[in-house]
Structure 1
Amino acid sequence: MKRYLIIMIGIVLSIISNQCAAQIKPMVIGEKLPENLYSHLKKYIAINEGNAILIDFWATWCAPCVSSLPYLDSLQTNFKNKLQVISVTRENDKTVHEVIKKVFSNKQPAFSILLKDTLTEKFFPHQTIPHCIWIDKNGVIKAITDKPEVTFRNVQNLISGINLDITNKPQTIKYDDNKPPYASKQIRLEDEFLYHSMITKYRDDLNSEYSRGTHNDFISCINSPIIRLYQCAFGKFDLSYWDMNRVICLGFNTFADSVKLGIFTSERLIHEWQNNIQKNAFSYEFATKDSIFSNKEIFQIMAEDLNRYFATMGIKASLEKRVINTLALTQIGNNKSYQNIAGGKSSHYTTSSYMKIENLPMSYFLSQIKPFINNNNLVIVNETGYDGNIDISLNKLNNNFLDLNGDLEKYGLKFVEKKSTTDVIVVKKTNIIHGISN
């Protein structure tokens, strides 16, 4: 008769568990067993007031759980009416009874078994089993432990009301281990954060933005074209790498290819990319709690992350030396008055013919001067040997770099058109086999 009673318990429990779940607060040591849990258990087990209770959560696939079943049986037999051992599993009757039959040689165990019970588990959420709940004769939760703590002496102390000198399990968060706990938002990231990097799809509630930490502790590129992500990674936020003349695409020959990569060489391409921004834009974030990487290392990590993911789209990029046509900013003589030594406030002011830059990087100046150069096929490069912050005022922005040189001369600077061996970003189309490029 007992076997059929256990099966019926499992059926009923599965029906009521969802109805009660919203009202359940997980229990902790020191709290008294709530009346709704008592009521739930009393429907299926004759619980005697004044008895100590040991609840054991287990599963048939858990070898330590199964091997300890005879020991639980001996506890129930030894302490008789002073203790109630309740074995709880979410598995079904057929699976459990096959195991019980083998373990106890067709005999019924002395302790109670609840099948398909997910309701009791909600009072005592856990991630690992065995999971044992110790409840004294007054209904107070005295301990929550692993199975090794379940000894005759400790159980005797529980029954006698003696303080338990045992090791409790740390309180843990219950989550679905079929999903990554952090990425699936089951677990909120707290102070334990050390390091992460991730790529996400477009979000319409975020503006497009590019930023980095001053201590090499983060990189953030939000809602970006794929090409721009690579320009940030290989250029290490040097804006001169944002020049599309510094990007060589191999195998990307169609209009659709250019839209996918975000190659903005025409108004039509820009318009088409923006019309499909949901699938064309991506975000990248790298972050560490402490400054444990160098500037070179964080951008190397970024480039590797990008290649690892975008390989699934047939995209791979690298930084290579190529001889190309450049407009090189060079140093003339010993005049270095453009170099900012004192620091101060950073500012930038530009009109159609005037530019003033104070305490901003040389790379920023070169990126801002690009629109005022009439030959858009030249890559502007820095060959001054200085990449720090500068102070410069220019009054002859008329698309002629020779006139511009007249303004730059007072700073000991000059633009020279020449062929230079320069770092360029080479983006290759690759074949994809099961999500891996080759």
Structure 2
Amino acid sequence: MRCVCKCRRAFWSKQVTALLKPLKMTHFYKGGSELPIGTQCSCPQLTKSNCLKLTILIWGIEMFSMFSLSAQAPRKNSGADGLLIKSLKVGDTIPEELWNISLEVANHPVARTYISLQDYRGKKLIILDFWATWCAGCISSLKESIALQKQFKEDIAIIPVTREPLAKITAKNVVSRNSFLASAFTVFNDSILTKIFRHQTVPHLVWIDRNGIVQRTSLPMFLNQKTVSKAIKYGIYDSIPTKDEYLDRADIMHRLSVNANFPFVSNKLEGTRRESNFFAKGRNNDPLLY
């Protein structure tokens, strides 16, 4: 890529030199100073055709420079600092790039405005809790997450994550119904984790063990004292069904048409609540997909 860019620059340089060659540089003072203001430059040997060519050439160089800079600049949606990180699923290991990505947060315990997963790398369990203000199940789950975080604060890190802006989270109509959100710790304005840990519905939990391996993606009903204790003491996650987020919308809608209580999980434990209760309904009773 660099070689091609250098060749192109050399080409444009030759073109400019060829067009400027007919000019007699008699209208400049010593030391390369410019003409006095108001003095017209008349160059008999510079034809109208050459003027037009020179104008087009300069415009072309400007456009080429702009596109070159654009191609070299990192894209905001490419992960972070221009690094491309593929989406992760159960069984994958968190790459080093992801550990160090900066995440914007609100209500951090020590008033930080940015964090990274690296800050919690020494924990026995990291749980990413994806949520949204319009999701009643998310709000309920968030309260339980906060309680569990206090109980297991030495061993786990539960990190709420939302794509919504801070103004939305702290809006009066939201806080009036759920006052705890005004002081709840959360990642906001997220555009990275949501893409790396793909999901179509919220709430959505991602369980990451002490070795940085994604052990489960689940519904919040399986986040409790028992499952957390087994995970941090024994590294056991077998009582947590994996939430299947690799279905497309058409498949989900088809399954719902067959079974209105389709749970969105790969297996279901007896005695648990209906998973479908955690998904808001939109027009025509369709589920609201993230």
TM-score by length of 2: 0.50
Larger RCO (CA under 8 A, 6+ residues apart): 2
- Structure 1 or 2: more helix by fraction: 2
Structure number with larger C-alpha Rg:
1
- Structure 1 or 2: more strand by fraction: 1
